[in-house]
Structure 1
Amino acid sequence: MNFLVLFKLTVLTLAPLLPLLLASLTSSVAQLVQPPWCPTHCGDMKVDFPFGVGEGCGRSEHFQLDCEKNDLGNFSMFVRYTRVEVLSISISEGRARVKSPVYRLCYRGIPTIIKPNLPEANLGYSPFWLSSNANKFMVIGSGGLGGLGLITGTMSKIKSGCMAWEVFDQEILVDSLCSGIGCCENIIPYPSKYFQIYFYENSLPASVFNTCRYAMLVEANNIFKFRTSYLISPESFEKDAISLLAVLDWTISNDTCNIAQQNMTSYACVSSHSKCIDYNNLGYHCSCVQGYQGNPYVPSGCQDIDECLNLNCFGICTNTPGSFKCECPPGTHGNGSISGGCYKNGPKIQLWGKMVIGFSIFIVVLLLSSFLVYSVYQRRKVAAIKRKYFQQYGGQLFLEEMKSKHGVSFRICKEEELIEATNNFDEKNKVAGGGNGIVYRGTMDNKLVAIKKCKTIGERERKEFGKEILILSQLNHKNIVAILGCCLEVEIPILIYEFISDGTLFDLLHRKCDVHIPLRIRLKIAQETAEALSYLHSWASPIIVHRDVKASNILLDENFVVKVSDFGASVPTPCGEDEFLTHVQGTRGYLDPEYVQTGQLTVRSDVYSFGVVLLELLTRKMAFYTDGLQVRSLVAVFYSAIKENNVVAILDDDITGDEESMDVIPELVEIVRKCLYMEGERRPEMRQVAAAIEASSKSYEKSATQREIGLI
């Protein structure tokens, strides 16, 4: 069965249950001690409270583990209601190590495929979570796209995985190196209560190097390493797979520490010298404070550690609650924690000690003085570099000109302001990254802004930067993202834009697959995008060629208002129709073929790229998309559909199921066809495209209104 279908069925089945299961962790009656008749071991494995083996032996029924004995007399322990085999549980770490789930996909001739049951686990009834930071996902085999389906505590569905590319030359492989060829690995994005391992059905067939592929969860710090022998000898892998481990985190409750401590009756950290530790806002577990060890879940469970038994103390060691002292014996002085560190008291020893102290003070003063001198030198050096960059990009003349034209509306910031606004460009504030640069979310003057660190800038753009930013800052259109300021005292300028809240058109079309998008919204997005480009081509002075029109550069707010971004992002580009000849720059799938062939960039190149975007809006397919095992070009598929007079076949189902939509589809298809002409001079201007889309939109609205009141 296709995994996407299976995953949806699983989600539909588990969705009503997981919140109840999570809530039940706190609603169950919790006991503070384990009854004396409860077993303390499952075979050789010790089981400590709050867990238990047998009815009534855990803190609650959710902490009960199943202990089973096989025909050979060996014991195994499992998470209750699952077949997840527990190998060890750490009370202090809040972790358990389990037998790693492995999905084997083996070929025994063509087309015979041996598929065992998919490894999966629903941990919803238990306190366990699949750990995100202690595990990794691995795929081993020559060709194969392995996947990992997860459901988080917030009921979000997450899919992860990686592709182990097919091996054509075994000599390029290296033991212990998982390079992506024959072996790949990926992180676990979020702690999960449910996981399922699978292979996509369109995975590449196995090559001559192996007959099996393996997808698995592995402890990140485990000694298990990829071996090239796994590709030609399944027996070699099976032998090593026996020792594979994965890690589950566990929480005593799904409350945070702050909430749990408000109800001391059910609060689990009952031992003195214990502390509460939050786990990803999904719950908490307990641990003994430093200097103590034991079980924090039972009264007096955290016991003082006698450090004197384990530490090297060459003096007199005295154990203290939670710590220790290591002192020299009476009549001596010095450091008792090192061999020979204690010296007899006496006049000569004391004089020598004073000399050492005096010399040490001299050294410290000398070092501090040197450090202060060096710090002053470094600050002056950095300031000089910043002044150099500032002057390089226009300097004071640019600053004065911007103030005369914009007053305080355009801001020229210092680097320290942007570091503070983005928390030192923290990865958590990263919202986008592309060929031109990385965009961070920041807060300046209590207002959200988008701060873009450009990647590269050429010598010509460096000289013209001030002039070009001045041109872009004068753009004033409701559907063009506004540039609010810049920072010039860095090697590559940093730009500041208004922040748009609801992502990109690419996200809406291709990542929010369950969202229904009416044709009315698609026409609104297309028209506003066309109007923004028309403004750049016809009303900006000098005119602007965007260079990189694509769905991911069209931002949307919560009302689907378009904001075109990244126009000349790192290098704003004023140009005239006949004066723009440059190296090819843009995104594969959207690039004007005439521009690629000749290197001549004109406003008609943007028209071609917009045609691809409009085609994406109508089909909800990416510029390059996979169809089975084939990668297809959306433009090529469109031309083929035109030739076969069957464009309806490639349209999005949301459109073909709407009678009013189909009334205007021929007009929109004709607009796309004209925009995608191979010869640039045959393409319409953007203002003509905008007018045509506006006419189609009005026609659609009129037709929909008439149908609503029964005129048609």
Structure 2
Amino acid sequence: MVAISSRGVMMFSASLLLLLPPPVAAAAAAPAAAAATAGTHCTSKCGNISIPFPFGVEPGCFRPGFNVTCADDMLLLHNISEIFDINLANGTLDIYVQRVDQSLPVPQTHDIGNWDVVGVGLDGGPYTLAAGRNKLVVIGCDVQALLMDVSEDVLSTCAAFCSPINKKLYQVASPDCSGVGCCQAPILAGLDVYLLQFRRFNGSWSGNQATVYIVDADLLSSYRMDEMQEAALPVVLEWVISNSTCQSNSTTAPECRSSNSFCKNSTAFRGGHRCHCSEGYDGNPYLVDGCKDIDECKFPEIYPCFGDCNNTIGGYLCQCPLGFEGDASVPTGCKDVDECVHPDAHSCYGICKNLPGSFQCQCPQGTYGDPTTKGGCITIKNSFPGSKIALVVSSGFILLIVALAAPFITHKIQLRRVKRLKEKFFKQNHGLLLQQLISQNTDIGERMIITLRELEKATDNFDKTREVGGGGHGVVYKGILNLHVVAIKKSKIVVQREIDDFINEVAILSQVNHRNVVKLLGCCLETEVPLLVYEFISNGTLYHHLHVEGAISLSWDDRLRIVLEVARALSYLHSSTSMPIYHRDIKSSNVLLDDSLTAKVSDFGASRYIPIDQTGVTTAIQGTFGYLDPMYYYTGRLTAKSDVFSFGVLTMELLTRKKPFVYRSGDGDGDGLVSHFSSLFREGKLADIIDPQVMEEGNGDIQEVAALAVVCTKLKGEDRPTMREVELILENLCAKMHNTSCTTPYSRDQILAQGVTQEVSRQYTMEEEIELSARYPR
């Protein structure tokens, strides 16, 4: 990128040093400035050149070594070289360097073997020549140049010769620059020091001159040789954000601040690295939230989609339009479905005509009626053969009848289509399961059957203002059904796994009736998205009550009672149903509280039946990190002790008001809530982590509850107690502390209802329940 001509070799040194900016410390050498970010006060553009972080103009707007200057709409690197492009993705910097004086001729008295050596230092800064992007170019006659490393090993060389008669050089520097008046050689990037050697061959003509350039190889053919000696030429530099390498056990680094970024080592720097946005994202990985999701649907030339394109987080979904099928990612990949090939599937018993994406159905000539039903086309009878008048009258009469009957026929067709669509969704949503429940127990059937019309009326057609929350399996609406306030859950995404989760929740909650388990009132399977109707719990989740702003949350008595009620619910699910039920996702956001702060365990979409002759089952991992049993996570084997572990974490959350899924200890080890809590318990330092409100209100029972939480979170499942044992321990603790809120007895109606539900559950045969569990695996 820089032109060099010299009578002596020291001019090579002075010229080549202009290739890079003045020496700067590496980015990793100043950690105090690593927190600099591109704030609102930082210059974001100079002329038509954008200035992305880590580059910046003002102090505090750049990382060390990446400061630039904006003067007269020109962006300069350390006030020397003009920058005309900054590429974050490739880690390159395109700059211009002004020409250097070239008036001195090459010495004429060198003998063969008399070499001049010049060292060019890059000083360990964040910049180096970009690999494979630049060329060493020599313009002259009878001159040879060699590029070597500090060990004097030759990296590349070239020689330029001229005719003894005609010493004129070619006027255009072609990319091959084959050796007549001009030669070029590749430059190995990534070295800290280069040695440049050159020589003049004996007998060269008097007044010989030679000029050396380093220039962007892609732009070499754009310059005439006579222009190269006057112009500032382009060169490509490469940089790294830090001289250290990426950690071997991690794909990120402190410099990669965006959550959708990763660390990648540079091939040009020994030990250096840069940050990149993850696949499906683009932007600046060195800023918080700098990597934004790419809307692939806006760039069909890069992400081809010849059907219906829908953007998703980190990707996109491409599918054929309605009435077409095939591969939507290739041209003409979506083929029209010929509905006329399958008349029964599309209800056409007349003349069927296929259309692009649709079809047309009509009665044959000489008939009229409804072609979408068998026998719907009626033959027109002529009462007066050969009579034109009779034909006209009868035709007019038929047309009048058709015109009068058309609205009724259309309405009938629409009703039949709606009916068929409901039947399709009913089968798709495993409606046979609901029919099985109805046949086994009339009471369940009567309260489970809810029509779509009723739910639309209850929610004002699922009005946006009726939304009261959402979870991992759908959106929750508040509605009024039969003068009762209810909660209606609707799936967000129509995929089979979501539907199976809903049906799994129906199968479980329809057989459960416990005062501490949210009550399922019914379901509707007439829509593409299944709907579930629950009792409305008005006081929100335990999570929102615990993690409120301020020092005061739920009282200790309420927390102790809530943890006992959750234990009762889990003990009932594990021990008192005809087939044990494991919840798999116990956490504070899945515990609802009513007006009296009574706990209600909810969200059974991830739950599983376990046959009573088995102690566990191997399943796909589901749950929430922070609450998830590590043995279940690593082995995939689900047991009752997996719920016990999650319950132990919930108890620690009640004691500390710390969020398990984001908690990290501040002692340098970065332990999670479970390991840190257990360590403090063993060291007798529980006061360091217990909620101050609990310490103030507790009356001697905190230590015992903490001990129970620790034993519930033992690494090995066999070292943990059962939920029945946990329930008894908490009830005895409440009785000992005379806490009446913990020992509130069940009412007679609740005991009877619970007993009836258990009897209903036991009416199912073992074969039916095993079939039910197998049909909807998690």
Q: TM-score, normalised by structure 2?
A: 0.42
TM-score normalized by structure 1?
0.45
